[in-house]
């Protein structure tokens, strides 16, 4: 891949750029922000780490979209993060305006790009990027599920005292407290979680996963998580850039899958060249299906408040 753009050179954006550079996922990464000199400074600092970290990806910073022209993937992280006491939905009004402006610029500079939305409230922002860009649904997606499953997996590994590598998990739904972790699709080296942990312990980890973002916000006090979100985005970029066809939970536009229409919500997607190649529909219990529908309805309530 030739060029990846990351819009927003804040905590998440800079972390995404760094992981993508470390993995040499493109020849060039452009970091864009409205704050003068900030993206240039962070880009230069990262580039100066290249001889030690051993990568040749060139990272540059910019305050306009000229240098981003022709990007194949654009990651949008521009927007306010949460502070203690805020829900992701509290960010909606401000971040919608930013997403509209940024998406319009992205379309002009990189009309064939794939957009990965990161700003919150994630499902709403993904929908805004989809509507404003006019891109096909395969080329607009949101990152949330990889982060939510990573949190669940890290808690499982800690509880069972096993390698994180062996912990697999699945989380569906909107990126909020209504997300739907699926213990029935969660396993450790292929062993169903239910054989390794009591129902009570699983429920406690599910609850911690739902509130995982808030746990970090409460600790950081001045912003939200960025290490785990950054690497989660890089995993999506890698699957697309290398056409790996990984099946990863992503926010995707649904047109009837899971009985849900006209909204973005987290579902397992096959990611490869061109973006979302397929949405995978897994069997759900009645209870899980109901929780997914409730989660999608909550996203739709937010969408109804958005003016495009």
Query: Which CB sits closer to ligand NAD, 79 or 183?
Result: 79
Bridge partners of 142, per DSSP, are 117, 251
Q: Check residue 223 for interaction with ligand NAD (CB under 6 A).
A: yes
How many helices (H) and strands (E) are present in the chain, helices listed first? 10, 14
Q: Which residue is nearest to ligand NAD (CB)?
A: 10
Of residues 1, 3, 4, 10, which one binds ligand NAD by CB under 6 A? 10
Q: Check residue 61 for interaction with ligand NAD (CB under 6 A).
A: no
Q: Which stretch binds ligand NAD (CB under 6 A): 26-34, 201-209, 253-261, 278-286?
A: 26-34
- Classified as helix, coil or strand, 283 is coil
Helices assigned H by DSSP within 110-211: 122-133, 145-160, 199-210
Bridge partners of 30, per DSSP, are 5, 60
Q: Check residue 104 for interaction with ligand NAD (CB under 6 A).
A: no
Q: Which stretch binds ligand NAD (CB under 6 A): 5-13, 158-166, 279-287, 299-307?
A: 5-13
293 labelled catalytic? no
Q: Which stretch binds ligand NAD (CB under 6 A): 18-26, 76-84, 106-114, 270-278?
A: 76-84
Of residues 26, 114, 116, 147, which one binds ligand NAD by CB under 6 A? 147
Least separation in angstroms between residue 278's CB and ligand NAD is 22
Q: Check residue 197 for interaction with ligand NAD (CB under 6 A).
A: no
How does DSSP classify residue 66? Answer: G
Binding to ligand NAD by CB under 6 A, coded x per residue (else -) over 150-189, reads -------------------------x--------------
DSSP string, 188-199: ETTEEGGGTS-H
Rg of the chain over Cα atoms, rounded to whole angstroms, equals 18
Q: Which stretch binds ligand NAD (CB under 6 A): 140-148, 165-173, 252-260, 281-289?
A: 140-148
Residue ranges with strand state E in 3-119:
3-7, 28-32, 58-62, 73-76, 114-117
Catalytic residue among 11, 42, 153, 175: 175
Question: Contact, 60 vs 30, CB < 8 A?
Answer: yes
Q: Check residue 13 for interaction with ligand NAD (CB under 6 A).
A: yes
Of residues 20, 106, 119, 284, which one binds ligand NAD by CB under 6 A? 119
In angstroms, the Cα distances linking 174 to 150, 256, 278, 292 are 16, 16, 19, 8
CA 308 – CA 302 distance, rounded (Å): 13
- Distance spanning both ends of the chain, measured CA to CA: 32
Active site residues: 175
Binding residues (CB under 6 A) for ligand NAD: these are 7-13, 32-35, 77-82, 91, 95, 98, 101-102, 118-120, 122, 143-144, 147, 175, 223-226, 229
């Amino acid at each position: 891949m030739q060029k990846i753009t990351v819009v927003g050179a804040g905590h998440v954006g800079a972390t995404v750029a760094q992981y993508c550079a470390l993995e040499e996922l493109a020849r060039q990464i452009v970091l864009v922000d409205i704050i003068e000199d900030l993206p240039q400074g962070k880009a230069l600092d990262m580039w100066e780490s290249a001889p030690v970290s051993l990568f040749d990806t060139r990272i540059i910073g910019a305050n306009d979209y000229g240098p981003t022209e022709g990007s194949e993937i654009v990651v949008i992280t521009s927007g306010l993060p949460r502070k203690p006491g805020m829900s992701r939905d509290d960010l909606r009004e401000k971040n919608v305006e930013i997403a509209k402006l940024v998406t319009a610029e992205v379309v002009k500079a990189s009309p064939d790009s794939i957009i990965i939305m990161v700003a919150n409230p994630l499902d709403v922002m993904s929908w805004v990027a989809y509507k404003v860009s006019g891109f096909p649904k395969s080329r607009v997606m949101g990152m949330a599920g990889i982060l939510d499953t990573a949190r669940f997996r890290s808690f499982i590994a800690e509880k069972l005292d096993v390698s994180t590598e062996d912990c697999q998990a699945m989380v569906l739904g909107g990126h909020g407290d209504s997300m739907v972790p699926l213990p029935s699709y969660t396993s450790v080296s292929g062993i169903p979680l239910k054989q390794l942990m009591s129902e009570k312990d699983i429920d406690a980890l599910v609850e911690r996963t739902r509130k995982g973002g808030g746990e970090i916000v409460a600790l950081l006090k001045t912003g939200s998580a960025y290490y785990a979100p950054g690497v989660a985005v890089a995993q999506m970029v890698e699957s697309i850039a290398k056409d790996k066809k990984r099946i990863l939970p992503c926010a995707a536009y649904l047109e009837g899958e899971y009985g849900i229409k006209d909204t973005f919500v987290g579902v397992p997607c096959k990611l490869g060249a061109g973006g979302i190649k397929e949405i995978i529909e897994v069997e759900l219990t009645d209870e899980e299906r109901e929780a997914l529908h409730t989660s999608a309805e909550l996203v739709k309530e937010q969408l109804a408040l958005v003016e495009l």
